[in-house]
Every structure is written in C-alpha cells, then in structure tokens.
Structure 1
C-alpha cells in the first residue's frame, strides 16, 4: 500500500511522487508554503527539486506509458473513477487545505474541489467514446479509418489560482487518452497538489503513470519544456512565462498548449437589468480576489445608465466582507502571495497617477486583525480612459475600471482593443446587441447576461490573441491536444 505524502515528518513535509513512491528531492532542500491570510502559519514544506529529480520523473513516465497506453480506455477510466471517489471522500480536507494555502474562501474551495471530482468522472467516461472514423477509400477492396494515439509523456505546469480544478482538467484527459504525466504545480499551492496526487495513488494508478515534482519554475517548469523525452506541455499561467515555455517546446518540436492572461470586459447596455449586471460585475471581477484569468476587469457602461450603475455598484461593494477564507461570512480572501499583493497595489497607484478617480477601496484594510495577511480592499476606479494601464494590463486582483460608452458598437470596439481575448460578457435584452456581440467580440468565451468568469467542464475553453496558443481545453475538445490522429489503410 502506498504511504500518503502527508504521513512523512509529522504530516508537515510533502514529498515528490516518482515511479509510485514518495521521495525527498536529491537536493535535500524544502520550501515553506505559507498561509496568505496569516503569513506566520506554515501550511507545509515541499521539495525544492532539481533537474535530476525531474529526469527521474520523466524516465519513470516514459517507461510506464508503454504499458498504460495498451490498456483499454475503459480500464484507464476505472482508475479515474477511483481517483474521483478518493477525492470525494477527502473533499473537506482538500478544500480546507486550499483555503489555508492560497486564500480563497472555503465555499469557493469546496466548489472547486467538487468540480475536480466531476471532471475526473467526465473523463473517465471518455474512455468509452469513439476515437476515430471510417473514411471511404477509392479502393473498393480496402478499409480506411482513423484512430488516435497518445503523445507519450505530457508535462503539466499548473498555476496557484485553481490548484485542484486546473491540474485535474489537464491530467484527466492526458491520462484517459493513454499518456503518462509529470505534474509541476505552483510552489504556492504544492501541498494542495500533493493531496490530489495522493488520491490518484490511492486509486492504484500504475507506478510511473503519474509523477509529481515540486520546485521552481525556472528549474522544473522550464526543465519540462526543454526535456527531450517530454512530448507535450500543457501550461496555465502568465504570458511572459507561457511564451518561454512555448518557445522551448517549439525549438525541439514538442506539442504545447498555453492558457494565459485576460483583460476581460463586461458590457452594460442601456436596457440591462442593472441589479443583475452589478451582481455579475462584482462576482466576476472581485470573487476569488480577482485572481481568475476570466475575471472581469473592464466595465463598459452605456452613458445613459452609467451613473445609476455606478451608484448601485459602489453601494454593493460596501457590503463585501474581507477576511480569512475559513471564517463564516467572508466574501473576499487575501491575495495568494506577497508578490501578487504588491502587484495589485502598484496598479492601484498607477491608476491614481494616470488620472483615474478612485471611487472605492484602493488600499490594504485598516482592520489590525488582517495585518498579517496579504489583503487588499476591493477597488473601483471611475473616469478611466482606454489607454490607462488599469484598462490595458492584466492586474489579477480585485480592481474594476469603469469606462462610459455612447453605444454598444463603441463598447464592442473598445472591448476588442486589447492584446487579450479570453472571455467577455454583455448585459442587454436587445437581440441586435446580443447577435453583434456574439459575432464581433474577439474572445474565446462570450457570455450573455452572465458574468465573464466560469466555464462548464464539458465545454471547450481557451482564448484568442495573446490569451492562448489557440488550442482548447476541457470537454471533448481536449482530445485534439492530448492525441495525434493516425490514418490506417488496410487491404487484405
């Protein structure tokens, strides 16, 4: 029986998982994962791994993949079902760890963990779905068809903002289609990731099929991208890092998938239900402390309802409780780490310097009970022009920029004036506005009368322009990345 990672050294130090065994890094070094709500609390210690650790993990994956790919899809699916059941049994534990490690509220963490369970079960079912088509041949005596084959070894580089859902929506399809996986989680949420890997180990996954290595992005993340035996890389994170990962993979001919930033707009038409629009703007932009790639950032409001919308928005923001994610009633937790807090505060300062008017928030909370955490108030700016930094650059924090527009045509034009194209939403009852938005909005996800954030697990997800490498994650679209098509011509 596999010993859980958390069983080592008093449950405080978490190990790598390589070839079916929990093991310390050859470096002998660890890094502390701290609670962003109370920086004096260490959630756990994780390995500061080296290239040698990574090489061992890739070698194990390469060896194990040969047998894994020969299992039927149904057999591979059984392991995912078992992992889902293990995660379901540990839902409360994993969710609480997530809250302590990255700060999101406990209800959000429970919801994300439940989503991870659903993703595992969805892809377990994929093992019984078709993987090819019969194609008519010009030769009447031949049979021609397509099938799909796995890439081989897939490197998964996951971020800290969704430490359960994102690794799982990458690992589950990679595994069901016959690949072996090496997971490199964000160091900030590596304890949560270790608990996810424990669930796969509990499911009895064959040794080497899933490997887990923690460490810095410059060593483990870049090492995965450059490793000659890693056949595909799936990455979620910043544009700067994503481009380096993509360039390294491209240089050696490996397949890569990048999901990166967003500067997501919400458009509020004159005929919108303003109460619903305000709810969606706050939920989409402020929930999870704005730390979602699909979070609302720009709020484009038709001039005739601008003042009414602004008043309702600020009034609603005043009722949001900032605090520890484990405390009942908390709506907004801390930023995930100190660097992110400093980034958010720097953009707030830029907004002030460039002439935007601060309507609400804009600083750290005054409550002394929150002094040990990386907290920032939810923030709203008025009188924002489209060229300001807070209207153009990804902040990844709870900051909204209000921009008045004369029409929905102008709103769509301004919404598209961005290097990003991940998600966008509109609030209107006008079918013409809706159709124009659907057709003209340059975003991979468009939502009508709903917030910008969120996508259902069975639907393709990804962005346009600089938001992605133009591939899609989740749903049945995932097969396009994690497999290659093989065409078979058969003649007796």
Structure 2
C-alpha cells in the first residue's frame, strides 16, 4: 500500500501557463527504487486539455515561424542555461522517478544542455540551395518551411535527452510543439519544461499535456491540427502511430525497438569487449533501445570471454541510484520488472542455460523496489524468444559461432536493425561488418549503446520509419522543401 506524503502536484503547461487538467484528477509517480515513495503527482488529462494545447500551438505557430531562425536559436541558448543551472535537481528527479543512477542521470541532463546549444546554432545554418535554371534570366532556389504543429510522444528511459532532441530542432525550424511525456517520467518532463518557461519562450511555442497514451497519445495521432508526429517507444505502439498519421496525411517519425548484437571476434581485445558488453548491455538496467542484448562470440575465445564477463558482472553493485556506490538501479516500474522476469522464465523454458542472476532481489534494502539481478544465459540459439524479442532489461544472451560469416548471419537474424558493434583488430572483419550489418548505427571496438548528438540516429527494418533524428539530419523531418522560381 502506497503511503501518501506531502508531495508536489505538477500541472500541464499550455500557452505559457501552468494549468490543471479539466478532469481534476491526478496520478502518482512512484520511485522504482522504493515503491512507498511518491515522487510527485501529475495531471490525468483529457481530450479537452489536448485540444487547448493544440489550439495554443496552432495560433502561436503563425507568429513563431515569422521570427528569424537565429532569434529562435537564442531562446534555445536560454533554455540550455536554465537546464544547466538546474542540472543536479533535474538529475535527482530523474533518478527518483526512473531509477537510473545519479551519475547517468546527470550525464543525460548535461547531454540535454549540449543538444539545446547544438540546435541553437542550427538557427544560423543555411536552409536551401540555388539551383541552375534552364532559363538564363531566372533564379531558382530551395528553402525550407516548418510543418506547423508537431506532436512529440517521448519514452520513459531518457526523459530529458529524448524530448529535448525532438523539441529543440522542431522549434528552431519554426514549428510549435505539444509534448506528451511517458506517464512514468512526467515529473521529470515537467522539470524540463520549467526550463523552457524560465527562458521566456512565447506562450504556445512549447506545450505539455500529461496523461494516458490511450487518451493523449491517441489524441495526438488523430488530431487534424497536428501536422507531424515524432515518436520514440515500442514497435507495437509505433506502428499504431504510423498507421494513424498515414490515414490522415500527417508526417511521422518513428524510433522503436532494438535487439542489438555485439560480435566478439577471435582477435578482439577481450578485456575491452567485456567492458563494453557490460556497459552497453547493463547500464541503465538494460533499458536503452541501443542496449547490447545478444553477445555473439567466436568459439576459439568463447570460454575465456565468458569467464571474464562473469567475473566482472559479479562485481556489479545494484541499489538505489542515489547511492554513490550503485552501478545499476532498478527496473523503471513494476510492469517492466514483470516483463523482464517473464523473459527470464522463457529462457528457462526454451532450454537456455542460466549462468548468472535470473531472480528478483529479496534482500531487505532492495525488496521495496523493482530490482532484478543482472542475468546471463548461454546455450542460446537464434530462434529463442530471448534472442529475438526486445527484453529492455539487464539480460544478456551468449551465442557461440564458428566464424565471422556465421556471426553476421545471426546478428542480422532478427526483425530489428537499430545498433550493432564488433570487437576485432582485423580490417577485413571491420569492412565486412560495415558492409553487411543491417543496422542504422554501426560501432567498431565500442559498445552498441553510444549515440552522439551531432550525428544522424535511427534504425533499419522494424526499428524505425527509416527517418533519422539528431544532427543536421533533423531538418529533414521537421521541415518541408519549397522550390522557388523567380523570373523578372
């Protein structure tokens, strides 16, 4: 039974003001490290609230788009300064609400600051090209125009970085935004939006409406005045977003699941490969779309790699993310914990061999949280559910192969294609991996989970809608090209 304490209630942000939901109902956000602690209360919003936010965004967009892009960028610099000033408080909120360690949460928030400054600079970049015309006296060129109102549907695993890497390019290119954050991390989202408010953006440029996906998320999909939808989350929900947007002609961008492999070749630096496998697969409790999930190892080094991996995993300190000695926190929610445990059971049922972990922690200091042991399976074949389906938890599966050709075949033998990495010193292996790996992010001698803000990010196959986020690629989604022909 949750013990209710005096905890802050966070409001929706519509047209530059903090307002309660028309439903007058709230839901509680629970600390996954201690289910008896309420982090805050957030609005349980209705379609009426969403309509108000979209209307505000629509009216303001006509004014906002006519502001120069360098001037729009200046607002992002101000948001970055506010976020940086509040970095410790926002990171602590993230740790309490989502569970990742404070070090990771602070790093993510710092990344949000960097993203804002990067896209602030985008306001000074070109938005078109001059193209030769067949008519000698004519001028022909392209420019870019904003979509209009953009709906942002963001996940719980990166509650600062992902909303910012969607909102920042959207508004610097002249759009206005309605954000629907994940229910599990709506308090953190509200803390981020406070920074936009402090920066003094005109009312209606950025709006936030919290609430269930069945109401607010579906409302964004269906709303006739939302011209673009950018979504990060599960592939099942993403497909519904895409189908709904397509049905009414809205532009959409989907970043979805991953089942990311790391290949360990016989000539790899095994200590480096072990370190990267653990970091890529188990940091943030494995709750990253780019997290390492499948570890494909050549048989000549398999046993040595396995022993090194087990030795390091046994040293992992699991606990409350606010404790300085914690390396891995809890699953983000009870629902996510149960999903992870169900996949561990599937591994057992399918005949895989459990090498480490596999259970929920029941020790006194962890029993009130959603903690699960780092888990490793071996004797896994590619057809098993634990080798095919996204678990989104601290579960690694080891697969032994004869050679790099077999490793690549198994690495590609899934419906997803988000990220992948290989550890090798052989140039031929590297080039084969680059050419043949079916993933949007390829990393060599580095963990699968690294994403840099200035580079395009997105997946292949069922991992995305084949668009790209971040870097200069962001302009492709958030604007439309207009071709101009001028003849005197």
1:37 aligned residue (33, 40, 43): 33
* Helix, strand or coil at the partner of 2:400: strand
- The aligned residue for residue 162 of structure 1 is 158
The equivalent residue for 2:223 is 227
Does residue 1:184 correspond to 2:180, yes or no? yes
Distance in 2 separating the partners of 1:132 and 1:35: 47
- Residue equivalent to 2:351: 355
Deviations 1:308-361 (A, max 9, x none): 000000000000000000001100100000110000000000001110000000
1:395 aligned residue:
391
Residues 286, 394 of structure 2: 8 Å contact kept: yes
Within-5 A mapping of 1:381-392: 381-392=377-388
Aligned to 2:408: 412
Please report how far the alpha carbon of residue 368 of structure 1 lies from its aligned counterpart in structure 2 after TM superposition: 1.3
Structure-2 residue corresponding to 1:451: 447
Which deviations, in whole Å up to 9, do the C-alpha atoms of 1:344-396 show, x marking residues without a partner? 00000000111000000000123211000000000000111111110000000
Q: Which residue of 2 aligns with 1:267?
A: 263
Q: 3-state DSSP class of the match of 2:365?
A: helix
Cα distance in 1, alignment partners of residues 280 and 332 from structure 2: 18
Q: Give the structure-1-normalised TM-score.
A: 0.98
Superposition deviation, residue 454 in structure 1: 1.6
Q: Distance in 1 between matches of 2:89 and 2:321?
A: 14
2:193: which partner in 1? 197
Question: 2:130 matched to 1:134?
Answer: yes
Counterpart-to-counterpart distance in 2, 1:90 and 1:32 = 23
In structure 1, stretches of 5+ residues that fail to align are 1-8
* CA distance 1:90–1:11, change in 2 (3 Å): farther
Q: Distance in 1 between the 2:364 and 2:347 partners?
A: 26
Alignment partners' CA distance in 2, 1:365 and 1:31: 27
Separation in 1 of the partners of 2:450 and 2:63?
36
- TM-score normalised by L of structure 2: 0.99
* Pairing partner for 2:466 from 465, 470, 484: 470
Whole-Å separation in 2 of the counterparts to 1:409 and 1:294: 23
- Equivalent runs, 1:69-88 vs 2, <5 Å: 69-88=65-84
1:421-436 matches, within 5 Å, as 421-436=417-432
Deviation at 1:11, TM superposition (A): 6.1
1:287 counterpart = 2:283: yes
In the aligned structure 2, how far is the partner of 1:271 from the partner of 1:188? Answer: 43
The partner residue of 2:55 within 54, 59, 72 is 59
Contact 2:226/2:250 (<8 A) preserved: yes
Alignment of 1:208-219 (within 5 A): 208-219=204-215
- How far residue 10 of structure 1 moved from its aligned partner, in angstroms, is 7.0
2:329 maps to which residue? 333
Who is 1:313 aligned against? 309
CA–CA distance in structure 2, aligned partners of residues 491 and 165 of structure 1? 46
CA RMSD of aligned residues (A): 0.8
Task: Flag structure 2 segments of 5+ consecutive residues without an equivalent.
Answer: none
Q: Deviations over 1:263-304 (max 9, x none)?
A: 000000000010000000000000000000000000000000
Aligned to 1:377: 373
Displacement after TM superposition at 1:209 (Å): 0.6
- Partners of 1:153 and 1:365 in 2: how far apart? 45
For residues 184 and 364 of structure 1, the distance between their equivalents in structure 2, rounded to whole angstroms, comes to: 31
Deviations for 1:235-262, whole angstroms, at most 9, x for unmatched residues?
A: 0000110011111100000000000000
Residues 52-97 of structure 1: CA deviation (Å, up to 9, x unaligned): 0000000000000000000001100010000000000000000000
- Structure 2 CA distance, aligned partners of 1:118 and 1:258? 23
What is the distance in 1 between the residues matched to 2:386 and 2:147?
A: 40
Residues 259 and 293 of structure 2 are in contact (CA less than 8 Å); yes or no, is this contact kept in structure 1?
yes
1:437 aligned partner:
433
Q: Distance in 2 between matches of 1:184 and 1:28?
A: 18
Q: Distance in 2 between matches of 1:116 and 1:158?
A: 14
Following the alignment from structure 2 to structure 1, what is the Cα–Cα distance between the partners of residues 34 and 362? Answer: 15
Native 8 Å contact 2:7 2:38 kept in 1: no
The equivalent residue for 1:240 is: 236
Alpha-carbon distance in structure 1 between the residues aligned to 2:398 and 2:468:
30
Q: How many matched pairs? A: 484
Q: Helix, strand or coil: the match of 1:485?
A: strand
1:122 aligns with 2:112: no
SS, match of residue 376 in structure 2: strand
Could you tell me which residue of structure 2 aligns to residue 299 of structure 1?
A: 295
**Partner residue of 1:97 out of 85, 88, 93:** 93
Alignment of 1:27 onto 2:23: yes
Farther-moved stretch of structure 1 (53-62 vs 357-366): 357-366
SS at structure 2 position matched to 1:370:
coil
1:143 pairs with 2:134: no
CA apart distance, 1:192: 0.4
